[in-house]
């Protein structure tokens, strides 16, 4: 089964990867971590990154489904 998901980057990650979003077409099951690796082959996954699927925070080992939107955020800091 062929699946398509939208991948979005926010804040400083957008500048680090050089684009605001990607579209990924793949077959089989994939995790959020694998999505990052598939669309950012030359950039390692930052150790403290936050991820969301369909606007809900998830663990990096969460499975993505066809039509999902995966978003990556730098860690939130505040003062």
pLDDT given at position 29: 83
How many domains does the chain contain in total? 1
pLDDT given at position 77: 62
CA dist., res. 8 & res. 70, Å (int): 6
Judge whether 44 lies within some domain.
yes
Judge whether 79 lies within some domain.
no
How much is the average pLDDT of 21-31? 92
CATH code assigned at 7: 3.10.20.30
Name the pLDDT band for 31 (thresholds 50, 70, 90): very high
Judge whether 78 lies within some domain.
no
Phi first, then psi: what are they for 18, rounded to 5°? Answer: 85, 15
For residue range 44-78, list pLDDT tens digits in order: 998 889 999 999 999 999 999 999 999 999 977 65
In terms of residue numbers, what domain contains 43? 2-73
């Amino acid at each position: 089964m062929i699946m398509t998901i939208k991948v979005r980057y926010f804040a400083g990650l957008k500048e680090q990867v050089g684009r605001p979003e990607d579209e990924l077409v793949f077959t089989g099951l994939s995790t959020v971590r694998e999505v990052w690796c598939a669309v950012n082959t030359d950039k390692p996954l930052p150790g403290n990154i936050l991820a969301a699927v369909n606007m809900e925070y998830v663990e990096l080992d969460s499975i993505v489904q066809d039509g999902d939107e995966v978003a990556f955020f730098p860690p939130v800091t505040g003062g």
